[in-house]
Chain A
């Protein structure tokens, strides 16, 4: 694959140096908003709790209401956000909380559609966690509702708001790794992926990720985020997928695979491999884009560039910090490097000052406050979900499955 619209960018070393110099504003403090925002959160589980933690950093944002149908989670939310009004029903929240500007949805995936539609209908801006949905029908319905609505809609795929990913992307798109040869992502974590409860009724609710009727499994809950990063970096979408999924470790009666391999075919011959396992934590979670002049590695708050020996030397490399990975040496990509280097504080910039989720939320709040475009639209959410849905189908059937363009279309 030739680097997309590479010619429209500055070429080679000069371009990459320019990318290095012109960074987005990376101050560690949130950007002030035009007006304070009042938000409601639907879903107070794992992700909802992480969102509550990050919301506390925004002085201009108030968490006015929290909704969860599970009483125990709601009481946990009461402790963490004592100032918020609690609801067990989202319709009651939307009716009672006229002052809410925006709603953040962090519920089980299969509930997203009705929640998004109701929140958009109520005139709220919506941030919805990924994957948008577990069926194409639901994902398209959400994208259509977002298109028709007056409010902003952001899909919670945090890669697009991640400053260090933006920096890496600017390198890739200005030709720093030249022609892309392959893409690879993985998620490895040794965990049963099960939420404990001794109540069978609650078990069905809490362990929805292990129910194949309503969950795409790893490829949906984790893969969607990786797929979107590759879509964003390459401006391309895969055309077909092969996959396999097994239950190798957690033979506890579940029907959702704990170890998954997928291979996606991109236009132009490049393939993308995706691997996930709940039986090992080795090397954790990352994505790689390998090119003829270098490879970029993306891992949440960190990113690196590994250069080929014959790659052009950048002027700024003399200042760069490097990290050894066995036989490979990676240049640590530092967001805001020029400014930090000028202050002699380059090393203090290694790793982002906030988790990626913070930047996704900040991007949403700024888009709402300044009438801008959220970094990750409902359409991109639909595309990543569609790719995951086709991958789940490939895993289930064992056959190569096409990903037609009509999957991405709202017409």
Chain B
């Protein structure tokens, strides 16, 4: 038995497929109820971490954390700790303090609760280290430099999926696939009679594929959304280090047991397509081109996992175009 549910949240659509082992009475009601509670978790994360809602916890933090440390719940604190960790490991390629820059480039609309500043000012306001301080017992967050603001868009979908998956597992769900906007995907188990949930990265016969089982996939691509800025196309991913639109890869995909971690790293690898520092339990696939203006990858850099924690993996990577890994650990 299959049950499908969907939710509009975080400016995109979340979809969930649940498969039950039992077709008996009440089975469908149970699957649906579990799915609803999981999607309610996504709604809660949206309400808490949205940059576009004045009543979110994130907006509360933005308003107050520069004046005094703001108390947060342990779950949110753990998310901030993960942000700090990935920010450090990626040398700032992933950095939620990019918010003022996103606003200055008009990649956030007027509903954003962060103040609008000039591009020059915004570039001065980016950088987690030295701007965001995490204080334990009790969990608090403080901004130590003026103008600091956080955009959790590079990690929030994954974080929401992690919490939703936990709820599903608690409810006894053994087979499920959940995605946010098709770019962040989490799987429990595998469909009945198959080895995993098959997922294609893009369309066409040459698109790489992933078999996902008890694992999470995140895919980032700069051209997914863009705006016009001073007559030029600006894609929605910015390089926090340079304060400029991303010049790195065309697509970056990561696999991890943790969707938030996969999400953050896929953003970072798009900005800087160098998987050095990628934790050994993660796998990455980066699509690049050397041709000017080309938007379809011509070669792929694949870094398989050193520590394999799941049967999932990238497969069907076009062999003729497969390049040597950029970096091996």
Contact = CB atoms under 8 A, between A and B. Distances in A.
Contact of B55 (A79, A83, A198, A353): A353
Closest 7 CB pairs of A and B: A196-B33, A196-B34, A194-B33, A196-B171, A252-B29, A351-B54, A56-B71
B138 A83 contact: yes
A52 B74 CA distance: 11
B133 interface: no
Contacts of A91: none
Nearest to B170: A72
A280 interface: no
Contact of A347 (B26, B55, B110): B110
A354 B61 CA distance: 11
Given A80-B75, A198-B172, A350 B33 contact: no
Please tell me the size bucket of the interface on B.
Answer: 20 to 34
Interface in A180-212: 191-192, 194-198
A353 B54 contact: yes
Given A195-B37, A196-B34, A351 B73 contact: no
B36 A353 contact: no
Contacts of B172: 196, 198
27 contacts: A28-B64, A53-B73, A56-B72, A56-B73, A59-B71, A79-B74, A82-B74, A192-B32, A192-B33, A194-B36, A195-B33, A196-B34, A197-B30, A197-B171, A252-B29, A253-B26, A301-B54, A301-B55, A347-B110, A351-B54, A352-B54, A352-B55, A353-B54, A353-B60, A354-B55, A354-B60, A358-B55
B37 A196 contact: yes
Nearest to A207: B33
Nearest to A49: B44
A255 interface: no
Contacts, number: 71
The residue in A53, A59, A195 that gathers the most chain B C-beta atoms within 10 A of its C-beta is A53
A80 B54 contact: no
Interface of A: 28-29, 52-53, 56-57, 59, 72, 79-80, 82-83, 191-192, 194-198, 250, 252-253, 301, 347-348, 350-355, 358
Contacts of B97: none
Contacts of B54: 301, 348, 350-353
Contacts of A195: 33, 37
B29 A351 contact: no
B74 A28 contact: no
A52 B48 CA distance: 13
A-side interface mostly? loop
Contacts of A53: 48, 57, 73
B229 interface: no
B26 A80 contact: no
Contacts of B37: 195-196
Contacts of B171: 196-198
Contacts of B57: 53
Interface in B52-84: 53-55, 57, 59-60, 63-64, 71-75
Nearest to B59: A353
A57 B55 contact: no
Contacts of A355: 47, 55
A354 B55 CA distance: 4
Given A351-B54, A353-B54, A52 B30 contact: no
A351 B53 contact: yes
Nearest to B48: A53
A196 B41 CA distance: 14
A197 B33 CA distance: 9
